[in-house]
Amino acid sequence: MAAIAILSDIHSNRQALDAVLEDVARHDITRWWCVGDIVGYGADPQYVLEICLTAPERCIAGNHDLGVAGGVPLDAFSSWAYDAVAWTQTVLGLEQRVALAQLAPTDFDHAVPLVHASVRDPIWEYVLGVEEAKASLELVREHVTCIGHTHIPAAWHRAEDGTITEVPGQGVVELVPGRWLINPGSVGQPRDDDPRAAWARLDLDANTVEFIRTPYDIAGAQRAIRAVGLPEILAERLGEGF
């Protein structure tokens, strides 16, 4: 099985997605999966959605996608997230909204499950620590499960005896026996104080995951957000990665 690029939380960031897909190709990777939150926050939902509906081998929805598609109540979003979801609804065509509404927040039909947030709550729960990771890892049997949602690259390992270990989402991590929860971080709105786009290279033959950062045209993404009148915070945070 060839290596697979894992992309999550692209969030309508055209500049970041373009740069990451070029980097994926430079790594000689031809397959990629999208772990949700295709839209929301950023200025190019049509462009990013068009790619995510056609190019990845697998693609699930995140809470922002479901918000735009009408699948979850909008009062669950923070004010600037709400503004972006509401604006995204106005710019997507009917066909794209219908396509978005057909995506589910989980895909358990393969050897590597994809869930947007967590296994016990695929839409909303943030897996930020050992407790949440443990709850998810108790619910799967597979060697590797991919998640997103927090915008922070990280991995958690569950050993045979149930012990959970958190592994920083940096460099190459060897996927030793047991169960793994892998979060590649966010392509379009990183929140770990590193503004570069984040993604991961999963190699199931070598049993490794590599956490990768890709520089992109942040100023261009910020200009696009300001040009369509989305909240300033959404542009500002891209520069710092928070």
- Find the part of the chain contacting Zn ion (CB under 5 A) among 35-43, 125-133, 136-144, 192-200: 35-43
Position 132 contacts Zn ion (CB under 5 A)? no
- Find the part of the chain contacting Zn ion (CB under 5 A) among 2-10, 21-29, 125-133, 196-204: 2-10
Other beta carbons within 10 Å of 98:
11
Between residues 113 and 184, which has the closer beta carbon with respect to Zn ion? 184
Residue-wise burial string across 113-142, b where 16 or more C-beta atoms lie within 10 A, e elsewhere: bbbbbbbebbbebebeeeebbbbbbeebee
Between residues 85 and 224, which has the closer beta carbon with respect to Zn ion? 85
Between residues 124 and 159, which has the closer beta carbon with respect to Zn ion? 124
Tokens of 51: 């790619």
- Find the part of the chain contacting Zn ion (CB under 5 A) among 37-45, 78-86, 107-115, 213-221: 37-45
Which listed residue (18, 23, 37, 65) binds Zn ion by CB under 5 A?
Answer: 37
Q: What are φ and ψ of residue 220, in 5° steps?
A: -65, -40
Alpha-carbon gap, residue 166 to 236, rounded angstroms: 30
Position 192 contacts Zn ion (CB under 5 A)? no
**Beta carbon of residue 47, minimum distance to Zn ion (angstroms, whole number):** 17
# binding residues, Zn ion (CB under 5 A): 2
- Residues whose CB falls within 8 Å of the CB of residue 167, separated by 6 or more in sequence, listed in order: 154, 155, 156, 157, 173
Q: What are φ and ψ of residue 164, in 5° steps?
A: -105, 135
Which spans of this chain sit near Zn ion (rule: CB under 5 A)?
9, 37
